[in-house]
Amino acid sequence: MALVPCQVLRAAILLSYCSILCNYKAIDMPAHQTYGGSWKFLTFIDLVIQAVFFGICVLTDLSSLLTKGNDSQEQERQLKKLISLRDWMMAVLAFPIGVFVVTMFWSIYIYDRELVYPKLLDNFIPAWLNHGMHTTVLPFILIEMRTTHHQYPSRSCGLAAVCTFAVGYILWVCWIHHVTGVWVYPLLEHLSPGVKIIFFAAVTVIINIFYLMGEVLNNYIWDTQK
C-alpha cells in the first residue's frame, strides 16, 4: 500500500516540472532569443534533468506494476535496466546538479542578486516561477531519496561522470562568451581571467562534494553500509 502514494507523488512532481518548463518557455525574454537560448542557463538545464529523471521514475513505477506477477524474464531485464538508469540519473545528475543550483543561486542572490538574477527579471518571471526553478527542486529530490532506495555507481565512475558534466557546462559557457562577447552570468563579468579559472575549478569541486553528500545521505537513509 505504501507504493501507491509514492507513485502518485512522483507523478505530481513530474507534472509540476512540466508546468514550470511550459510557463518558463512561454515567457518572452530577450535572453531566450540570443545565442544558446534557454540552454545556456544551468537552471533550465537542471529543470530538464529533473523532469526527465522524474519521468523515468514514473515510467519505472508503471513498468513495475505491469510486470508484477509476470514471469517474463525479458520484461524483468528491461525493468532492471530502467531502474539502473533511474538510479544513475539520481546519483550523477538529479541530486548534485539540483542541490548545486539551489544552494549557489540563493547564496549569491542573498549576497547580491544583480550578480545572478537581476531585478529586471522580476518583470518577466513571477515569484512563484522563480521558486519553482530555484527552491522546490531541493525538497522534491530529498523526498525522492527518502521514499526510494537508489543504487549508486562506483565512486570513481560517479565522480568521473559528474566532472564530465561540470567541465562540459563550463566549456559551453566559455564558448557562448567567445561567440557573443557576453558572459551568461553577470557575476563572471566582475572576475579577472585568473579568478575565473579558480571559480570554475571551485564550482567543479563543489558539484563533486554534492555528489559525495548524496551518496552518504542515501547510505544513511537506507543503511546500506550495515
Query: Hey, what's the cell of 35?
Result: 545565442
pLDDT at 68: 74
Per domain, the residue ranges of the chain are 4-27+36-222
> What is the pLDDT at residue 3?
46
Q: What are phi and psi of 59, to 5 degrees?
A: -65, -40
pLDDT at 72: 72
pTM over 0.85: yes
Burial of 106 (0-12, 13-18, 19+ CB in 10 A): middle
Which DSSP string do the residues of 55-106 spell out, in sequence order? Answer: HHHHHHHHHHHHHTT---HHHHHHHHHHHHHHHHHIIIIIHHHHHHHHHHHH
Q: Per-residue pLDDT tens for 16-53? A: 999 999 999 888 888 778 898 899 999 999 999 999 99
Residue ranges in 90-182 assigned as alpha helix (H): 95-112, 127-134, 137-147, 155-180
> What's the DSSP call for residue 93?
I
The Cα 12–Cα 4 span in angstroms is 12
Element (H, E) at 16: helix 3-26
Q: Which amino acid is at 52?
A: V
Question: What is the Cα–Cα distance from 12 to 184, expressed in whole angstroms?
Answer: 32
Q: Residue 224: its pLDDT value, please? A: 55
Between 137-147 and 3-26, two packed helices, what is the crossing angle to 10 degrees? 160
Specify the pLDDT at position 195: 95
Low-confidence ranges of the chain (pLDDT < 50): 1-3, 225-226
Q: Is 225 helix (H, G, I), strand (E, B) or coil?
A: coil
Per-residue pLDDT, 123: 87
For residues 184 and 116, is the Cβ–Cβ distance under 8 A?
A: no
| Alpha carbon distances (Å) from 60 to 53, 79, 166 | 10, 7, 27
Residue owning grid cell 559551453: 172
- Which pairs from 188-192 meet CB under 8 Å and 24+ separation? 190/115
Q: How far is CA 95 from CA 171, 208, 225, in A?
A: 22, 11, 20
The amino acid at 39: W
